[in-house]
Amino acid sequence: MTQQIAVIDYGSGNLHSVAKALERAGNCKVQVSGDPDAIRQANRVILPGVGAMGDCMAGLKHRGLDELVLDLIGRVPLMGVCVGMQILTEFGEESSGVKALGVFSGQITAFPKCMVAVDDSALKVPHMGWNQVQKNAHPMWSGIADATRFYFVHSYRYADSEADCVVGVCNYGAPFAAALAREGVFAVQFHPEKSHQAGLELYANFLTWDGTC
Amino acid sequence: MGLAKRIIPCLDVDQGRVVKGVQFGDIRDAGDPVEVSRRYNKDGADEITFLDITASHENRATTYETVSRMASEVFIPLTVGGGVRNTDNIRDLLLSGADKVSINTAAVFEPEFVKRAADKFGSQCIVVAIDAKQVELNRWEIFTHGGRKSTGLDAVEWAIQMVEFGAGEILLTSMDRDGTRDGFDLGVTRAVADAVTVPVIASGGVGNLDHLVAGIIEGHAQAVLAASIFHFGRYTIAEAKACMHTAGIEVRL
């Protein structure tokens, strides 16, 4: 069955890439839209996000889409990407404090300054590039090897890598959450649409995921 | 185990064709940018950089169209630079499918532009390109206009200022080395990489795979950029990665 995917457009980021990657990943029809009615008609929804968490949250609220996202949870499978994952948590310390949607407990904080690698070299922020994800059991990881590399670019992260909702862990200076999940929601800090084959596989899994953990 | 060092093939694009000049002269044709980027994507490139080297006003539409075609087929990050002068240019490039934009000359003429761009689009997509030339021992200055005009600005101080203004990454090109195949200027690479808190991409002068290794190990760069060694088939991206891996550098294989 052709999946009807809505990529929520609230004025953030590179939606073109997300849509193209989904279309490449499998049989689906993608609509990039900020229209609540159009989004409600989809049987799967992507919440993307690029840039500052405060701007993303404001953009979502301005269009009245914050309520819609909360309403979709449990009705259709929802996938958050990058800042789209971050705004599903409770709070972000970026832009002098951002109250977020609270779908997941926990908050988003900055990478500490002056982190060092095992060889004592300084770790740069943003955390930019291909890093490995240790996966916890979840159907969305089907067919993806443990320690697969995905493309990250971010300066803030979900630091509590041992929280119950964490289903993927990355390490940069210290462990942090690469993926969060609960019933009906799977969210990643990295960019599947920029993660070559591994990212396309993850999107392909999303197209068939039934929403269970 | 952790973050991999990146290999970034660079496409210098002139009127819709990939070209490669030697110290900004003697241009050779290296193909269609979409074809070339598709090949690099398949070969395991970690990102692609697209530099619109003419960047004339009438050329912009071609650039947006080419970027859009590339972004539809290439699922790795794409940085686009050349003639980025205002936030409208940035918005149009991001909407075309660029993930990051590279600001060069415009930053020199109006540093505040970098601040505005980072505030509006986020530091993660603002790369500041620095063209540096050695002027004396351990001093490099910023040059504009393809290395023809001196600005008197110290490259290291400039890089620090650009990061304060919101640059999320520095693309550092040695004008002395660009096109020579003599290897990166490791002095300026290390000086800048050690001075800033954001990732630095070393560029200019790669002639063999050992140069890539040196850029990371001796230059302390987080990524290495090269053009002609890949375009003309001398080495593949996979060979470059294997060489770096053998040298103990963490790469995405």
Q: How confident is the model at residue B56 (pLDDT cuts 50, 70, 90)?
A: low
Q: Is residue A130 part of a domain?
A: yes
Name residue B103's amino acid.
Answer: I
Q: Running DSSP on this structure, what letter comes out for residue A204?
A: H
Domain extent, residue A137, equals 3-208
Query: Measured between alpha carbons, how far is B23 from B178 in angstroms, rounded to an integer?
Result: 6
Please give the average per-residue pLDDT across A4-20, as a whole number: 88
User: Between chains, do B4 and A50 touch, taking CB under 8 Å as contact?
Assistant: no
Q: Is residue A175 part of a domain?
A: yes
Over residues A21-44, the pLDDT tens digits come to: 999 999 999 999 999 999 999 999
**Rounded to the nearest 5°, which phi and psi values hold at A97?**
105, 120
Over residues B145-171, the pLDDT tens digits come to: 777 888 999 999 999 999 999 999 999
**Rounded to the nearest 5°, which phi and psi values hold at B134?**
-75, 130
Model pTM? Answer: 0.95
Over residues A166-206, the pLDDT tens digits come to: 999 999 999 999 999 999 999 999 999 999 999 999 999 99
Tokens of B105: 């000359």
Residue B133 bridge partners (DSSP): B141
CATH assignment at residue A95: 3.40.50.880
Q: Is residue A213 part of a domain?
A: no
Q: Is residue A61 part of a domain?
A: yes
Q: Is residue A8 part of a domain?
A: yes
Q: Does A155 touch chain B (CB under 8 A)?
A: yes
So what's the pLDDT on residue B27?
61
Q: Does A131 touch chain B (CB under 8 A)?
A: yes
Q: Does A11 touch chain B (CB under 8 A)?
A: no
Number of H helices and number of E strands within chain B? 10, 12
> Closest-CA residue in chain B for A23?
B72
Distances (CA, A) of B137 to A39, A48, B133, B151, B187: 61, 48, 11, 18, 10
Residue for token pair 């193909």: B31
**Rounded to the nearest 5°, which phi and psi values hold at B108?**
-70, -45
Please give the average per-residue pLDDT across A70-90, as a whole number: 97
Query: Measured between alpha carbons, how far is A188 from A123 in angstroms, rounded to an integer?
Result: 22
Mean pLDDT of chain A: 94
**Among A7, A9, A12, A14, the residue to mutate for chain B (most B Cβ within 10 A):** A14
**ipTM value:** 0.94
- Which residues of chain B have a CB within 8 Å of the CB of A130? 3-4, 6, 46, 252
Q: Is residue A73 part of a domain?
A: yes
Over residues A127-150, the pLDDT tens digits come to: 999 999 999 999 999 999 999 999
Q: Is residue A149 part of a domain?
A: yes
User: Between chains, do A16 and B97 touch, taking CB under 8 Å as contact?
Assistant: yes
Q: Is residue A135 part of a domain?
A: yes
Asked whether B87 and B116 are in contact (CB, 8 A), the reply is yes
Number of domains in chain A: 1
Residue among A146, A93, A155, A158 nearest A125 (CA):
A155
